[in-house]
A and B are shown apart, each in its own frame.
Chain A
C-alpha cells in the first residue's frame, strides 16, 4: 500500500524527521486559507504515483488568490491517469542543495539497503551509479550510527549538514522498520540556505502482507474499482487494455498465457490468477468476474495437478450454467486426467485443447471474428 506524501510526512514528523509546515486542501478555498496561514506556499498534487513534478503537479503561490487559482488548476488534472483530489500546501522553502535518501527491501541480499546521493530532486534511476552510495543493513541489528556516518562521508557532505543527515537516516530506518515499509524515500532531502536539513518530499510504501499488524496506518486505495472488487474475492487480478479475458491457475502460468496471446496477435484484457490449487469455488467466481467485463472471448488455461482435469472440467461446466453467457470460450486443459476433462467439456459443446499455443491461436481468432 502506497501512502500519500502527506501521510508519509506525518510518519516522518512523528519520528523526529524535520518536515515543512503544511496543510492538506481538498478545495481551492482551503488552499487559499493555507496560504493565508503559512505565507508563500508550494501546492503539491497528492497522487499515488511518481513523476509528479514533470507532470506539472507542483505549483507555487505567494498570495491566497494565487493559491486558490493554482489549486483550482491542480484539482482538475490527472497524473498518470490518477485524478488529483487532494493537495498538500507547504511553506515554500529556500533551497540550497537537494539530496536523495531512501531505504528499500533488497531481494538480492535479502536485507534492507540504504541508498543515498547528493543528486537529489530527480528520479534516482536517472542518477549515474558513481553518484549513488549504497549500504546494506543487517536486519537483526539495524542501522548503526557509524554506518550512517560512513554513508554521509561517502556522499561527500560536510558539517553541519552531515550530522543532521546522519540523524535523519537513523530516524528513517526506524520508520522503515516500524511500519513494515517496502520503501521509504525522501527525495529531495534539502539543505536550506539557513543550514537546516528538511524532508521536502516523502514516500512510504507499506507491505500489503503486513497490513494486518499496521492497523493504525491510514488506508489508501489503489487500482481500478474492478481490480479492488476482484482482489476482495481473494483473487489476483490486474486490468489490461485488451479484449480477451484470461483465467489461469498460478501467477507464472497466467503471465505465460498473456504472453502467448500477445504473440499470436491478440490483446489480453486482464491477468487473473485463480490460484495454483485450481479449486472449483474460486474458478467459478473468477469466471463470473471475467464474463461481467464483457470481453470478446475468454481463454481458460488450467494445468491440472492435484486438482484433476476432470474436476476442473466439471467446474467449468457448472460455472457456465451459473453465469449464462454467449461469449466464446476456449479452454485448455493439461495434466492429470486431461483426456477425461476434455471429454466432459466436449459433451457440453466446448472444444478443449491440450496445447497452450493451439488454444491461444483459437481464442485470438474468435476475438477477431467477434470484432
Chain B
C-alpha cells in the first residue's frame, strides 16, 4: 500500500517539452515511475526521453491510460492545464508551478472537488511512495521504503527530514508536499486521514510552518487518530506581517502564529520536535510504542 500514488500509477507530464518537464521526466523515469505520456500543445507526435508527446491530456488518457498528471506549465497557463487534466478524468493532478494567482487556485479546487479529483499543490515538490512511484521534483536518492508517512508544507525542509529519517534507517510509506501557497488542494487533514487508513504507515511526520490554520485543523484531527504523529513547525522567529518565502507563510492579523500551532499540536497529542534533528529519535520512540 501507500497513499495517492503507487506502482500502478501512470503519469502524464504536462509541458513535457519544456526544460523542467524534460529534466524531471528523465528523473522520474530513472526512479521507476511509469511516465506513459507527455503533453505540449502543437508538439504531438514527438518523443521526450522515449515518452510519446500528445497535444492534449485527453489523448494521453485515451491512448496511454494516464491516471495522474504533473504540471510544469508556467503560472499564467496553469489554470488551463489543471482544468484540462481534471476534465480528462485524471485522478491525481500534481501542480509544481509556482506563482499561480490565488483566484485561479480557488477555481481549480472548486472544479476538482466537483469532479472528485485529488489535487496536490500548487507550488509543491510533489508526492512520492518510495520504491514505487515518484511524481515530483524531489531528489531520487534520499528516500527509502518504510513505515513513516510524511506530509509537509515545504520542499527542502522535508527533503532534509526524509534524508535524516532514511539515514537513521526509518523509511517512508508516502511523502506528500502540500505546497507553499495559500490555497492548495490536499491539506494536512486529507493526508492524515489517508495515512491513518494506510496499512503500511505506522507513524506520521507533519512538517508545518507559520501562516494559515492547516496545523491547527490537523491537531484537531490527530486527537481521533490511532497512529502517532510527530510534528515540526518552522517559523518560530518569523516577524508578523512578512511573507517568509511561501505565499502562505505569513502571520496576519494575529493568526497563523508559531505558538498557536505548537499549542494546538501538543493539545492534539502530537509529539513536537523543537529541531528537525530531533525527529528521527521521536519517530523511533513513536514506532516503539505502536
State the A residues within 8 Å of B (CB): 105, 107-108, 110-112, 123-125, 138-140, 177, 180, 182, 207-210, 212-213, 236, 238, 240, 248-256, 258-263, 268, 271, 273, 276, 303, 305-306, 334-336, 355-357
18 further interface pairs, Cβ-Cβ under 8 Å (given A252-B155, A259-B234, A305-B156): A208-B247, A209-B100, A209-B102, A210-B101, A249-B156, A251-B246, A252-B156, A252-B158, A252-B246, A253-B160, A255-B154, A262-B236, A268-B237, A303-B156, A334-B160, A356-B275, A356-B276, A357-B277
A249–B249 Cα distance when bound, in Å, is 16
Q: Say how far B163's CB is from chain A's closest CB, in angstroms.
A: 6
Residues of B within 8 A of A254 (CB): 244-245
Report B257-278 CB contacts with A as 1/0, cut-off 8 Å: 0000000000000000011110
Q: Which of A107, A259, A271 has the most CB of B within 10 A?
A: A107
Residues of B within 8 A of A112 (CB): 106
The 5 closest A-B pairs by CB, nearest first: A252-B154, A251-B245, A250-B156, A252-B157, A305-B139
B153 within 8 A of A: yes
A258–B276 Cα distance when bound, in Å, is 13
Residues of A within 8 A of B246 (CB): 251-252
Contact of A110 (CB < 8 Å), options: B105, B125, B180, B242: B105
Q: Which residue of A is nearest B207, CB measured?
A: A252
Quick check: A105 and B183 within 8 Å, CB to CB?
A: yes
Quick check: A108 and B245 within 8 Å, CB to CB?
A: no
State the B residues within 8 Å of A (CB): 27, 75-76, 99-107, 109-111, 113-114, 125, 137-139, 141-142, 152-160, 163, 180, 182-185, 187, 207, 209-210, 212-214, 217, 232, 234-239, 242-249, 253-255, 274-277
Residues of A within 8 A of B254 (CB): 125
Q: Which residue of A is nearest B106, CB measured?
A: A139
Contacts A111-B106, A210-B103, A249-B156; A335 near B163 (Cβ below 8 A): yes
Quick check: B76 and A212 within 8 Å, CB to CB?
A: yes
Contact of B125 (CB < 8 Å), options: A124, A212, A276: A276
Contacts A139-B110, A306-B137; A255 near B235 (Cβ below 8 A): yes
Quick check: B277 and A355 within 8 Å, CB to CB?
A: yes
Quick check: A238 and B242 within 8 Å, CB to CB?
A: yes
Quick check: A256 and B277 within 8 Å, CB to CB?
A: no
A140–B109 Cα distance when bound, in Å, is 10
Contacts A209-B75, A251-B249; A238 near B235 (Cβ below 8 A): no
Residues of B within 8 A of A139 (CB): 103, 106-107, 110
Q: Which residue of B is nearest A355, CB measured?
A: B277
Contact of A255 (CB < 8 Å), options: B101, B107, B111, B209: B209
Q: Which residue of B is nearest A138, CB measured?
A: B110
A210–B107 Cα distance when bound, in Å, is 14
Quick check: A108 and B213 within 8 Å, CB to CB?
A: yes
Quick check: A336 and B141 within 8 Å, CB to CB?
A: yes
A213–B79 Cα distance when bound, in Å, is 14
Q: Say how far B182's CB is from chain A's closest CB, in angstroms.
A: 5
Quick check: B103 and A252 within 8 Å, CB to CB?
A: no
Quick check: A253 and B156 within 8 Å, CB to CB?
A: yes
Quick check: B182 and A107 within 8 Å, CB to CB?
A: yes
A4–B134 Cα distance when bound, in Å, is 45
Contacts A251-B244, A355-B277; A209 near B106 (Cβ below 8 A): no
Residues of B within 8 A of A334 (CB): 160, 163
Residues of B within 8 A of A303 (CB): 156, 159-160, 163
Q: List 29 A-B contacts (CB under 8 A).
A: A105-B102, A105-B183, A108-B213, A110-B105, A110-B113, A110-B183, A111-B110, A112-B106, A125-B254, A209-B99, A210-B102, A210-B103, A236-B245, A238-B239, A238-B242, A248-B156, A250-B155, A250-B157, A251-B180, A252-B156, A252-B209, A252-B234, A253-B157, A255-B210, A255-B238, A259-B236, A273-B245, A336-B139, A356-B276
A212–B27 Cα distance when bound, in Å, is 32
Q: Which residue of A is nearest B160, CB measured?
A: A303
Contacts A251-B209, A252-B154, A335-B159; A207 near B141 (Cβ below 8 A): no
Q: Which residue of A is nearest B139, CB measured?
A: A305
Q: Which of B102, B110, B163, B255 has the most CB of A within 10 A?
A: B102
Q: Which residue of A is nearest B163, CB measured?
A: A335
Contacts A139-B106, A212-B76, A251-B249; A256 near B213 (Cβ below 8 A): no
Residues of A within 8 A of B249 (CB): 251, 255
Q: Which residue of B is nearest A304, CB measured?
A: B139
Quick check: A207 and B101 within 8 Å, CB to CB?
A: yes
Q: Which residue of A is nearest B155, CB measured?
A: A276
Q: Which residue of A is nearest B20, CB measured?
A: A277
Quick check: A140 and B234 within 8 Å, CB to CB?
A: no
A137–B75 Cα distance when bound, in Å, is 24
Q: Say how far A345's CB is from chain B's closest CB, in angstroms.
A: 19
A253–B164 Cα distance when bound, in Å, is 14
Contact of B142 (CB < 8 Å), options: A107, A249, A305: A305
Q: Which of B105, B113, B155, B185 has the most CB of A within 10 A?
A: B155
Contact of B213 (CB < 8 Å), options: A107, A125, A273, A306: A107
Q: Say how far B47's CB is from chain A's closest CB, in angstroms.
A: 23
Residues of B within 8 A of A335 (CB): 139, 142, 159-160, 163
